[in-house]
Amino acid sequence: MKSVYSPNLQVFNESQLKKLHKIIDTPALLIIEDRLDRNILQMQTLADENYSWLRPHIKTHKSADIAHRQIILGASGITTAKLSEAEIMYEAGVDDIFIANQITHPLKINRLIILHSQCRVIIGIDNEQQIELLRPAFQKTIKPLEVRIEIDSGFSRCGIKDNKALLNLAQKIMAEPWLLLEGIFTHAGQVYSASTETEVAKIGEAEAKAVELAHTFLHKKGIEVQTVSVGSTPTAKYSVRNDAVNEIRPGNYVFYDGIQLTLGSARAESCSLFVLATVISQPQKDQIVIDAGSKALGLDRGAHSMQLLTGYGTPVNIRATIERLSEEHGILKLDQAQIVELGSPVIILPNHACSVANLFEKYYLINEHLEMEMINISARKKSQ
């Protein structure tokens, strides 16, 4: 078990927190705007300094507003996991979208043709059967469908594992005039099981090496691709250094969270997303109950992580462990027995920002003057 509590997580002093809590009903999701903007800028700078495009994964924030902030600061487009996320982002004005996923359901293919006619959309592919599924819908379209072959760099999820299969799929794609082999991509999700920074670095280097080798192999066979894409928040700073890589797709870095802190991929003062909750009961002197349960904090204690986090989030303004959750209750064990005022605020760093954001309808964006703006989590629950 690992605790990620640090005084540097503190974002508001007591009176600022009370002031905010008076005007925000709870549970609520707060974004600290200057931290958010700094995170976006820092990742963009990392990409720029390494001559790479940044195509951030928006599954973390699922908000068109934040996607536009990323694009304004230099992102070349966005990455989504789902077609429905891509549709929402297109409606909000984003017109260059990589769906880093395989699309095989017939109803999705019908929707994909529409999106494809409206904006630039690229999809993932790792199996020649997918060509047959896409053919009836796309073979007569004027604009070819751009695809990127997914390479498995050790996560053992989707992706091509060997050169023979890679060449076979690339040649099959090249033989179809309605398809355009735009790139190759990988995601080293196994990094979330790493336990040291050295391991994270090794996984990041291996992630880049896997696409570098695939790229070189295709080149030797006379097949050129435009984009060589890698992506995860912890590996970005390692994989981007490889000269073959020309695109990174981190997502979580806009917020960071408890999991990123356990991996050493973020500093406490970079965390920008917090759940604001209210104390509703104090059954014992060392226990309080808040109005945020599993429907606000999620049950995630480290997605694939070997180092389970202590509790279901990290309370920042009171030293305590979130020991148990019901759907709408969080049960906190206080480090020190004390009387806690009912109705007082508790601010919590979520363990996993991406899954927590998906549970809420809106963010309360707080600027340095404690002014507040509400922004929609427009693609929340979009999983089809």
* Residues in contact with ligand PLP by the rule CB under 6 A: 57, 79, 100, 187, 189, 231-233, 249-252
Using DSSP's 3-state secondary structure scheme, residue 236 falls into: helix
Distance, CA of 234 to CA of 148 (rounded, Å): 22
The full DSSP string for 121-135 is EEEEE--THHHHHHH
Distance from the first to the final alpha carbon of the chain: 34
Indicate the SS3 state at residue 145: strand
Nearest to 82 by CA among 145, 135, 124: 124
Measured from the CB atom, the residue of 233 and 351 that comes closer to ligand PLP is 233
Name which of 109 and 191 has its Cβ closer to ligand PLP. 191
Closest to ligand PLP by CB, 215 or 249: 249
CB of 368 to ligand PLP, least distance (A): 26
Alpha-carbon distance of 74 to 59, in angstroms, equals: 19
Q: For residues 62 and 42, what is the distance between their CA atoms, to the nearest angstrom?
A: 20
Q: Which residue has the tokens 């195509």?
A: 55
Taking the complex as a whole, the smallest distance from the CB of residue 187 to ligand PLP amounts, in Å, to: 4
Nearer to ligand PLP, 347 or 354 (CB): 354
Smallest distance from the beta carbon of 155 to ligand PLP, in angstroms?
A: 9
Nearer to ligand PLP, 126 or 291 (CB): 126
CB of 248 to ligand PLP, least distance (A): 9
- Closest approach, Cβ 351 to ligand PLP, in A, equals 13
Helix (H) or strand (E) holding 90: helix 83-91
Neighbour tally for 281: CB within 10 Å: 14
Nearer to ligand PLP, 85 or 291 (CB): 85
Burial of 175 (0-12, 13-18, 19+ CB in 10 A): exposed
What's the min distance (Å) between Cβ of 237 and ligand PLP?
12
Nearer to ligand PLP, 249 or 380 (CB): 249
**Plot region of 298 (φ>0 → left; ψ -120 to 50 → alpha; else → beta):** left
Min dist. Cβ of residue 323 to ligand PLP (A): 27
User: Which DSSP state fits 199?
Assistant: H
Number of Cβ within 10 Å of residue 223's Cβ equals: 16
